[in-house]
Amino acid sequence: MDPRKRMDVLAAELLRHQHRYYVLARPEISDAEYDRLLDELVELEKRYPQYAGPNSPSRRVGSDLDGSFPERPHAVPVLSLDKLYEARQAAQWLRKTADACGNDPGFTVEEKIDGASIVLYYEHGELQHALTRGNGLAGNDVSDNVRTIGQVPLRIAEPGALAVRGEIYITRDDFVRFNAGLAEKYANPRNLAAGSLRNLKSSLTARVPLNIFAYEGFFAGAARDHLEVLARLRDLGFRVNPQLGFFCDSGPRRQRAQALFPEAYSAPLAGVEDYLRRLGDARAGVPYDIDGLVLKLADLELRQELGFTAHHPRWAMAYKFEAPQARSELLDVLVQVGRNGRVTPVALLRPVRLSGSTVTRATLHNQDYIDMLELGIGDQVAISRRGDVIPAVDEVLEKSATGPTVYRLPELCPFCASRLVREGAHHFCRNGSCPERQRRALGYFCAREQMDIESLGEKTIAFLYEKGWLRTIPDIYSFDYSRLEGVEGYKERKIARIRAAVEKSKEQPFARVLAALGFEGLAAAVAAALIAHGFDDIDRIIATAARGDWEAFAAVEGIGEATARQLVDHFSSAANLELIARLRSAGLRFRTEGPPAGRIDDSFAGQVWVITGSLEKFNPRSLAADEIRRRGGRVADSVTSRTSHLLAGANAGSKLAKAEKLKIQVVSESEFQELLQRG
Ligand SMILES: [Zn+2]
């Protein structure tokens, strides 16, 4: 067969099978057979790339090439819906609208899914573009990512132009599973769905178990009503939510609705309030997040007659289940720079009351998050407090009529004007002498959680920095605080307090000092883990880093490869070594006191031990750990392929089983004693 014809046949077959599998959940062929057809097509597309269309079923697997998201105008503006929060009000709106129309109009009630809105544009039966909502007039073209979603039809039997609106979402179960494997977690299913549409590599999006429901279609040829539109979409292969309510006082129209959608619930208008309540109560049982229900006039001609307000269609209304959110406006974005140079955009909001306090700021994380929200200055936004105290911007409710569509971070650091560098999801100021970074490093060092030099608060540090008296951390210990005498606001008692606090901080244990250095990735928990696993002396840490031995750090429970490599970098950098040397000569503690004292020999050098079960002689087990460390060995918490020995006491459990599986040497308590004596 002509290869081009064969490719057409394969593509048509595969798209049909994808529809049966993803949309209907009724596959006709086995996965293996499907893979065989797909492999054949991919093979042919490699040989004849000129015949491979943008909507080939092979596009489902995505690409590893970086894409971009050019902005495109929407053919039909995407307006937001007006909202109500009470079922009774929603029922009243329905009755009022029905009376205004006359002649027993029908209304649909659909789930308002908490996902990412998308508009799919088809022409000549092919998916042309998939655009995000954007500012409603134009959105970002995320077609390549959307093509990877199996439920999105790539080709349809509709020759005319068609725009389809839908919601892309992920179920709660899938969210929990998928999020668990991510280094940077998403706060909720909606953010994951929206973020996935903005992956630069579509192959990443292909891995996310995304779903779509289509809920609106704009056909070139006229359709009579919304039910007909939904039925046509369903017949073209789109996934239409079967959870559908139809309310109308005309019996024959309700019968017609039932004929089109046998699964729909239909009743006279009087039944709507009860229906809204019932669905609201049952929403926890729905496998995906819904934040409300959408009531729409079904008759398309009547919709045209009712028209729009400046912001909303008059023929639709969102009934939101509750109002835990507050509405505010994004006044500006504050660009913060942390001690490690990381740039954090912070939303400055029109003050608004939210669960008992006034909110004026919310974190925006990074540029990706802003892009995902499609957030710009002047936009009306929904903010919430999730479980804890930090307010978050959840979504854009209404775009500002003027101004840029989406806020962009500045290219230069606002504090030192050096060029910001993007690494991963974040931007960084890489200038080590950036004044803001230095002030932050000083503040972090003095904070209660670290060295607890409380009298050197943010204001005092800023003042001393301004004067040029305090620039780097060692300055805290070398500065002559008597120079503050006579300075306004610095009475004798205050100066004495600062001196005393600085002096007292020299007593802080090594773990605190280590974390207070403020090195990226070296949080308090990491410092504690290092020390607990034998890195109880700065010289040992520096020597390990000098050898480039990140694996020794990674052998510590709780330290991953990325952090281990960072530690090697931190403790071999000349600037950091000088910092440590200066603090050491100032009298700060750079090793832990007490056991394990005294090195015995190197008989356990290079060994990584794990201790499990209960020991008789070495009780607590830290006694055994001390013996191992005194002989140059390391002790870790969990059994991995790097473990060399397992010391197993009585009632050893899963660690013993794992060690046996990995064929790691298992040592009993008595054998351990022999090893110690042998030396
Ligand atoms: Zn800077």
Model confidence pLDDT, tens digit, residues 62-104: 777 777 888 889 988 888 888 888 899 999 999 999 999 988 9
- Residue 652 shares a structural domain with residue 543: no
Instruction: Report the b/e string of 179-212 with b at 16+ CB within 10 A.
Output: beeeeeebebbbbbbbbbbbbeebeebbebebbb
Last residue of a domain, one of 553, 585, 617: 585
The alpha carbon of 529 and the centre of ligand 1 are apart by a number of angstroms equal to 32
Q: Which residues surround ligand 1, an ion (CB under 5 A)?
A: 413, 415-416, 429, 431, 434
| Residue 601 φ/ψ region, left for φ over 0, alpha for ψ in the -120 to 50 degree band, beta for the rest | beta
Distances (CA, A) of 309 to 97, 313, 315, 416: 14, 6, 10, 47
Tokens of 675: 């090893």
Write the CATH number for 416: 2.40.50.140
Reduce the DSSP state of residue 459 to 3 states and report it: helix
DSSP state of 664: P
The alpha carbon of 476 and the centre of ligand 1 are apart by a number of angstroms equal to 22
Is the backbone peptide bond immediately before 620 cis, with ω within 30 degrees of 0? yes
- Residue 416 shares a structural domain with residue 445: no
- Residue 153 shares a structural domain with residue 261: yes
- Residue 440 shares a structural domain with residue 418: no
Residues 6+ positions from 136 with CB-CB distance below 8 Å: 74, 77, 78, 79, 80, 399
Give the pLDDT of residue 285. Answer: 84
Write the CATH number for 644: 3.40.50.10190
Tokens of 418: 């050096």
The alpha carbon of 334 and the centre of ligand 1 are apart by a number of angstroms equal to 14
- Residue 367 shares a structural domain with residue 336: yes
The alpha carbon of 513 and the centre of ligand 1 are apart by a number of angstroms equal to 25
- Residue 380 shares a structural domain with residue 450: no
CA count, 13 A, side-chain hemisphere, 535: 26
Give the pLDDT of residue 53. Answer: 82
In a domain? residue 11? yes
Name residues of the chain where pLDDT drops below 70: 322-324, 355-356, 386-389, 403-404, 593-598, 620
The alpha carbon of 576 and the centre of ligand 1 are apart by a number of angstroms equal to 19
The total of structural domains in the chain comes to: 6
Q: Is 320 a catalytic residue?
A: no
φ, ψ for residue 401, nearest 5 deg: -70, -25
- Residue 496 shares a structural domain with residue 645: no
Write the CATH number for 480: 1.10.150.20
Unique residue bearing structure tokens 């769905």: 193
In a domain? residue 162? yes
In a domain? residue 548? yes
In a domain? residue 75? no
- Residue 209 shares a structural domain with residue 151: yes
φ, ψ for residue 505, nearest 5 deg: -65, -20
φ, ψ for residue 380, nearest 5 deg: -85, 130
In a domain? residue 395? yes
Write the CATH number for 19: 1.10.287.610
Check: pTM over 0.85? Answer yes or no.
Answer: no
Measuring CA to CA, which residue among 145, 155, 136 is closest to residue 53?
155
In a domain? residue 459? yes
Spot the catalytic one: 5, 46, 96, 112.
112
Contact (CB, 8 A) for 493 and 460: no
Unique residue bearing structure tokens 């298992």: 666
The alpha carbon of 435 and the centre of ligand 1 are apart by a number of angstroms equal to 7
The alpha carbon of 428 and the centre of ligand 1 are apart by a number of angstroms equal to 8
Give the pLDDT of residue 594. Answer: 55
The pairing of beta strand 343-354 with beta strand 420-423: unpaired
Residues 6+ positions from 508 with CB-CB distance below 8 Å: 451, 452, 516, 588, 589
Last residue of a domain, one of 392, 407, 431: 431
Residues 6+ positions from 621 with CB-CB distance below 8 Å: 611, 615, 649
Distances (CA, A) of 644 to 89, 609, 613, 626, 635: 69, 6, 17, 17, 10
In a domain? residue 33? yes
Contact (CB, 8 A) for 396 and 381: yes
How far is the C-alpha of 320 from the C-alpha of 315, rounded, in Å? Answer: 17
The alpha carbon of 468 and the centre of ligand 1 are apart by a number of angstroms equal to 17
Give the pLDDT of residue 387. Answer: 47
The alpha carbon of 338 and the centre of ligand 1 are apart by a number of angstroms equal to 9
DSSP alpha helices (H): ranges in 312-427? 367-373
Tokens of 37: 């057809």
- Residue 296 shares a structural domain with residue 440: no
- Residue 141 shares a structural domain with residue 221: yes
Which domain, by its residues, includes 639?
Answer: 608-678
Last residue of a domain, one of 507, 527, 559: 507
The alpha carbon of 420 and the centre of ligand 1 are apart by a number of angstroms equal to 8
- Residue 166 shares a structural domain with residue 265: yes
In a domain? residue 601? no
- Residue 523 shares a structural domain with residue 489: no
The alpha carbon of 418 and the centre of ligand 1 are apart by a number of angstroms equal to 6
Helix axes 458-467, 435-446, angle to 10 degrees: 140
Share of the chain above pLDDT 70, in %: 97
